[in-house]
Chains A and B, each alone.
Chain A
Amino acid sequence: MNETIVSYLGETLGLNFNWLGTLVIFLIASLILASFLALIGGLGTYAERKISADIQMRYGPNRVGPYGILQFLADGVKMLLKEDCIPRESDKFIFKLAPILCFAGVLASLAVLPLSSGFILSDLNVGIFYLLGVTSVVGVGIFLGGYSSNSKWAMLGGMRGASQIISYEVPVTLTILSVVMIAGGLSLNTLVGGQGAYPNGWYLFHNPFSFIGFFIYFIGSLAETNRAPFDLPEAESELVSGYHTEFSGMRFAFFALSEYIEVFVLCAIAAALFLGGYNVPFRLGGDGLLGQLFQLVVFFAKSFLLYYVVIWVRWTLPRMRVDHLMVLCWKYLTPIALFNLVGTAIWMYCFNGRSMYMILKHFLMASGQ
């Protein structure tokens, strides 16, 4: 287990970095990760359009580049060239700050993303807890964006966004807590390392409670990222475009991009917590560079699968009503999450932390004799 990317590189290459080397490596690694995730965010917009087109039997973007894959670059250039409008009666300071807060919160969460056992920027001891903390900055950004626009639509969208994000943090946090209880640690390498490479070793199938917990986490993270069927903050049929109604050009692009990256981050965390993370089957993963590559491929495959499901859900299900949203969170998800928490604790106590598969194997072997 490596604490940071720097310690991994130091071990693999046999070097010892001083503080300047550490700083430079951190900066380069952060730059690579941020650019790569921005690319994923950009491709996310393309994937969204293409998949939605597929679901609705249309073609989708097909003009720019082969299969229209460069559409997101064209969009980016268009966004950069747009006029930067700031409403006259808006709160200018906060209006300029809100997209940056959103983006900063999402980028800060990349620090603990366990892409592979070596490529994790910093494996904090409190990794998953830190992640919960910094993603809540996004909620502040959305709220301030809605407030500063001085528009009723944006105001309502921002209020909905803030209340929704705060509410859904409760079941998500409780579910993560039950997973933490199984793994016995908050650091993401501990959480991923406690799982096996095959589905029988995943926390998804560890016990019945974590199986339910996965779906609670997934629904909660859909709501936290304002994705359909919970995209009430930007409900275009009621509030023109929600909290980013008044934002134009690159400021709007920051909101959109941070949303797509956050969806990816939460899918990646779901893959890391429940679906075995970067554990590669057939013992192909390892500390060597090739092993790391396999780990990266497996991790991204799992995350993109969940990403696809998120987009699929968006174009299949209709939007919920505001009061139904809150009812779902407080009357269904939160009690189920609490039940899961207690149930996991009882399971860990009764079966000494063994998974369903291990108990079944033990039982079958005992009955075979």
Chain B
Amino acid sequence: MFLVIIFSLSAFLAVAGALSVTFSKNLIHACVYLLFSLVGVAGLYLTLGAEFVAATQLVVYVGGVVVLLLFAIMLTGGTNLHHVTSRFGLESTPLMGNLRTYLMGVVTAVLLVVVLCNVLQGSMTGALVSENKFSSTVEQIGVKLLTDHILAFEISSVLLLGALVGAAIIARPHRSSESEN
């Protein structure tokens, strides 16, 4: 019963947030709704007993991706329904909630549903919610990551190294123009 309450709350949060993202006309508002949707998804992971994935969802998406999205929207000009240019004098991005965005949403949704149905085909027949008690998944994930999936782990670390080097090159001060600092 406890789990059912948590599940209902998280599912409501996830679905309502996702719908609000789609139907919101303001890009920043959509971003905030996305935050709620992602928190709801973290709650769903929690009801499935996957604590580590839930916490990772919070750290990566809520702490990282949403802030990144907010920064990106703000620096490229937030949307305001009454102004063509944003409040900082920047040219605003196209408004949300017109035919084009809905079309994009529908196409993405159909694609996702097809992919998900194909992936989940095998597990649809069994029980959807596992009945086992909460057990620590951290150790299992760690062991799997460093044994079976070591190649993917290493490749992603190379990717991250590349991103870091790129960021360092972009942020490097130009020594030729000035010699201060």
Q: Which residues of A contact B (CB under 8 A)?
A: 19-20, 22-23, 89, 91, 93-94, 97, 124-126, 129-130, 132-134, 136-137, 139-140, 143-144, 147, 150, 155, 159, 162, 166, 169, 185-186
Q: Are A125 and B67 in contact (CB under 8 A)?
A: no
Tell me whether B51 and A94 are in contact (CB under 8 A): no
- B51 engages A91 (CB within 8 Å): no
Contact B138 A186 (CB under 8 A): yes
Chain B neighbourhood of A137, CB < 8 A: 62-63
Please give the distance in Å from B40's CB to the nearest CB on chain A. Answer: 14
- A97 in contact with B32 (CB, 8 Å): yes
Closest-CB distance, A276 to chain B (whole angstroms): 24
- B129 in contact (CB, < 8 A): no
State the main secondary structure of chain B at its contact with A: helix
Which residues of A are found within 8 Å of B78, using beta-carbon distances? 147
B2 to chain A, nearest CB (A): 4
Q: How far is the CA of A94 from the CA of B78 in the complex (A)?
A: 13
Q: How far is the CA of A268 from the CA of B74 in the complex (A)?
A: 35
Residue of A nearest to B1 (CB): A19
Q: Cβ of A129 and Cβ of B29 under 8 Å apart?
A: no
Kindly identify which residue among B54, B70, B88 contacts A144, using a CB–CB cutoff of 8 Å: B70
Give Cα distance in the complex from A163 to B67, angstroms: 9
Contacts of A166 in B (CB 8 A): 63-64, 67
A150 touches B70 (CB 8 A): no
Contact of A140 among B2, B62, B137 (CB under 8 A): B62
- B144 CB to nearest A CB, Å: 16
A23 and B70 contact, Cβ closer than 8 Å, known pairs A136-B59, A147-B28: no
Minimum distance in angstroms from B107 CB to a CB of chain A: 28
Assuming the contacts A136-B62, A147-B70, A147-B74, asked whether A125 and B138 have C-beta atoms less than 8 A apart, the reply is yes
Q: Given the complex of chains A and B, what is the CA–CA distance between A195 and B28 in angstroms?
A: 45
Given contacts A125-B51, A126-B55, contact A94 B67 (CB under 8 A): no
| B35 adjacent to chain A (CB < 8 Å) | yes
Residues of chain A within 8 A (CB-CB) of B12 are none
Q: How far is the CA of A290 from the CA of B26 in the complex (A)?
A: 55
Q: For the A-B complex with A124-B51, A133-B55, A162-B71 known, give 10 more contacts whose Cβ atoms are closer than 8 Å.
A: A93-B29, A93-B32, A94-B29, A125-B134, A133-B56, A133-B58, A137-B62, A140-B62, A143-B67, A144-B32
The answer to whether A134 touches B74 (Cβ under 8 A) is no
- Our pick among A23, A130, A159 for the contact of B58 (Cβ within 8 Å) is A130
**Chain B 13-47: CB-based contact to A (< 8 A → 1; otherwise 0):** 00000000000001011001001000000000000
Do A140 and B67 touch across chains, with their CB atoms under 8 A apart? yes
The CA-CA distance from A133 to B74 in the complex, in Å, is 23
The closest CB in chain B to the CB of A155 belongs to: B88
* Residues of chain A within 8 A of B57, CB atoms compared: 133
Inter-chain contact A136/B87, CB cutoff 8 Å: no
Taken together as a complex, chains A and B put the C-alpha atoms of A93 and B27 apart, in Å, by 13
Q: How far is the CA of A150 from the CA of B74 in the complex (A)?
A: 12
A19 to B28, CA, bound (A): 39
B67 touches A132 (CB 8 A): no
Least CB distance from A51 to B in Å reads 32
Residues of B within 8 A of A185 (CB): 138
CB distance from B35 to the nearest CB of A (A): 7
What 0/1 pattern do residues 61 to 73 of B give for CB contact below 8 A with A? 0111011001100
Chain B window 101-116, contacts with chain A (Cβ cutoff 8 Å), 1 for yes, 0 for no: 0000000000000000
Q: Which A residues are CB-close (under 8 A) to B62?
A: 133, 136-137, 140
A95 shortest CB reach to chain B, Å: 11
User: Which residues of chain B are near A143, meaning CB under 8 Å?
Assistant: 67, 70
CB-defined contacts of A94 to chain B, threshold 8 Å:
28-29, 32
Partner of A22, one of B2, B35, B74: B2
Contact partner of A169 among B35, B55, B63, CB < 8 A?
B63
Q: Known: A22-B2, A94-B32, A125-B52. Is A134-B58 also a contact (CB below 8 A)?
A: yes
Return 17 A-B CB contacts under 8 Å, by A number.
Answer: A23-B5, A93-B29, A94-B28, A97-B32, A124-B55, A126-B52, A139-B67, A140-B35, A140-B62, A140-B66, A140-B70, A144-B32, A147-B78, A150-B87, A162-B71, A166-B67, A186-B138
A132: nearest chain-B partner, CB-CB: B59
B164 to chain A minimum Cβ distance, whole angstroms, is: 11
Chain A residues, CB < 8 A from B28: 91, 94, 144, 147
The answer for the CA separation of A126 and B57 in the assembled complex, in Å, is 12
Q: Is B136 an interface residue (CB 8 A)?
A: yes
- Of residues B29, B54, B59, B66, which shows the largest number of chain A Cβ atoms within 10 Å of its Cβ? B59
**Assembly CA distance A124 to B58 (angstroms):** 14
Docked CA distance A54–B59 (Å): 40
User: In the bound complex, how far is the Cα of B88 from the Cα of A143, in angstroms?
Assistant: 16
Neighbouring A residues of B26 by C-beta, 8 Å: 91
- B137 in contact with A125 (CB, 8 Å): yes
How far is A89 from B82 in the complex, measured between Cα atoms in Å? 11
